[in-house]
A and B are shown apart, each in its own frame.
Chain A
């Protein structure tokens, strides 16, 4: 359906009202967190103060406290390392698989593609127990590398499915022309199809990376020492020390991650929807 424009005044009012309502409902918690982040303790913990107004001047001390006196930066570093490693592994495995499914396997390709996608639906809450035991057996318990090994279990299915759609959108002619021009099929694909599917590949990279940031249960189950924790696990466990909650720092820790990730998603959203529908429609 092409983007409709509300043509009646009533329609316009309804549209804007709904848009604003949803925006507020979605964004309020983040607003709240952002406000809290900069509040001095005396301001924050005084129940007589209007929570939406900073009665005392804003302060960055909680943020610096977070960055200097907690393992937060280590958490972020861990996420970056894990994310990068998982992206590499995922691309290395799912790009060839996606090409094989898109071009080389015919009707079987459709079926296997669906089967691979179904593995994405196997919930982590089913697998985390046996995996935690396997991780211990291999000796990777309490290490970020345990996560690097396990995460591709869900990033590969999703990436393969998305990439199938993107690769199919490159015209078949181009591959065949490259073969006639003198390359083997594999070389032809690497030299012509992949460069042309690059926007799709980048989208998949971004999505895989952000997926690794989302996981909670595996990180919680496999890692217990704070130096190896990811942001997801570290913030609710380490930064909440016993009964003492450093709320401003906690809020900062959430906002610092939330905003860049949301920006990234927003930029790539259009492509993601494209890949989603391409994957669903028979090439």
Chain B
């Protein structure tokens, strides 16, 4: 039984459909990431699951129960907001105990539960502090402890890492993943950062314009994108797309390497690469240019690791190659993958 299910979920704000028919089923204990650009509906979807918004149509089920018209407190969920929403006028202890009070847990039982939750997040020493005295990372842990203490069926996290400094972010990301694996509670996580998504998710649902474009493991999303949106949204720099013979041809920058470096591989396709710019970033070199023989308009990027030392200069025309199995084909009108079979798409 899926912990969280949505059935034909729709949400309109005036004339705009923020969520335009989403069917979703989580897997037990998984870390599901909702990924997409701003305005794609991922936060709205999360809020619909939480009960902070009412759907225009469709249903939400949690733990097999239809919760579509139930308020948040009846859904057995816990949520962490982008700002962490710690109650500034309460101590850390009181923050974590807050859901216990709401549920009517007797006062003498509360300290034990609070200490248990705080212990699992390593913040037992902070219980007497107030939120303003905490660092960003500590605040995240308090927010998670408060969520944990409810022993919910699902955690809902709304971009909790966005407010942290870049430096803190990867450490906090580590902690989050490790925490989730320890408590093994199904987690739905919203982000626009595809690196975060790839690093954290067991599965990623890529959203755009209120619909799920693709749902699958990071590997599937990355290597077998269901359409051009997924192909170009995930991966940095994005997948190269060229028009050839009325079809869209795609390959990833790191798969586009100089023939001089990779030699002759069976099945590989060679292109004449006209170089217009080279960026040396230390660990990689980005080579910008175009393929005059195929699609002179399309900008193409190649990502060479520093281990590939082939000299490439601006103005050169160098033969570059892509492995045959690395090529992807998309329909020019709809953007959908045409060499299907390997892509999982949710309609």
Contacts and interface: CB of A to CB of B under 8 A. Distances in A.
Contact of B77 (A180, A185, A196): A180
Contacts of B89: 195-196
B54 interface: no
B103 interface: yes
B313 interface: no
B99 interface: yes
Interface stretch (A63-71, A91-99, A170-178): A170-178
A129 B54 CA distance: 49
A177 B99 CA distance: 10
Interface string B82-122: 11010111000000001100110000000000000000000
Given A171-B83, A173-B81, A173-B83, A179 B73 contact: yes
Interface residues of B, number: 23
- Most B CB atoms within 10 A — which of A173, A182, A195? A182
Nearest to A185: B71
B50 A180 contact: yes
B203 interface: no
Nearest to B103: A182
B139 interface: no
B85 A171 contact: yes
Contacts of B73: 179-184
B260 interface: no
Given A181-B146, A182-B73, A182-B150, A176 B85 contact: yes
Interface string B139-159: 000000010001000001000
A196 B88 contact: yes
Nearest to B47: A176
B78 interface: yes
A59 interface: no
B235 interface: no
Contacts of B77: 180
Interface string B150-194: 100000100000000000000000000000000000000000000
Contacts of A176: 52, 72, 79, 81, 85
B81 A181 contact: no
Contact of A182 (B85, B87, B88, B99): B99
Nearest to B80: A177
A181 B88 contact: no
Contact of A184 (B52, B71, B81, B87): B71
A177 B81 contact: yes
Contact of A181 (B51, B83, B150, B156): B150
Contacts of B103: 182
Contacts of A177: 79, 81, 85, 87
Contacts of A171: 83, 85
A180 B62 CA distance: 14
Contacts of A277: none
Contacts of A196: 88-89
A192 B85 CA distance: 11
Nearest to A196: B89
Contacts of A180: 50-52, 72-73, 77-79, 156
A195 B87 CA distance: 10
A174 B85 contact: yes
Interface in A34-80: none
B81 A182 contact: no
Contacts of B87: 174, 177-178, 192
Interface in A179-219: 179-185, 187, 192, 195-196
A192 B89 CA distance: 9
Contacts of A173: 81-83, 85
A192 to B, nearest CB: 6
A182 B87 CA distance: 14
Contacts of A187: 102
A183 B102 contact: yes
Contacts of B78: 180-181
A241 B131 CA distance: 62
B83 A179 contact: no
Interface string B53-76: 000000000000000000111000
Given A171-B85, A173-B85, A176-B85, A181 B98 contact: yes
Nearest to A195: B89
Contacts of B83: 171, 173
A163 to B, nearest CB: 18
A175 to B, nearest CB: 9
A179 B52 contact: yes
Contacts of B72: 176, 179-180
A184 B146 CA distance: 18
Given A171-B83, A178-B102, 14 more contacts: A173-B81, A173-B83, A176-B52, A177-B81, A177-B87, A178-B98, A179-B51, A180-B52, A180-B78, A181-B150, A182-B99, A182-B103, A183-B73, A183-B102
Interface of B: 50-52, 71-73, 77-79, 81-83, 85, 87-89, 98-99, 102-103, 146, 150, 156
5 contacts: A174-B87, A177-B81, A180-B156, A185-B71, A196-B88
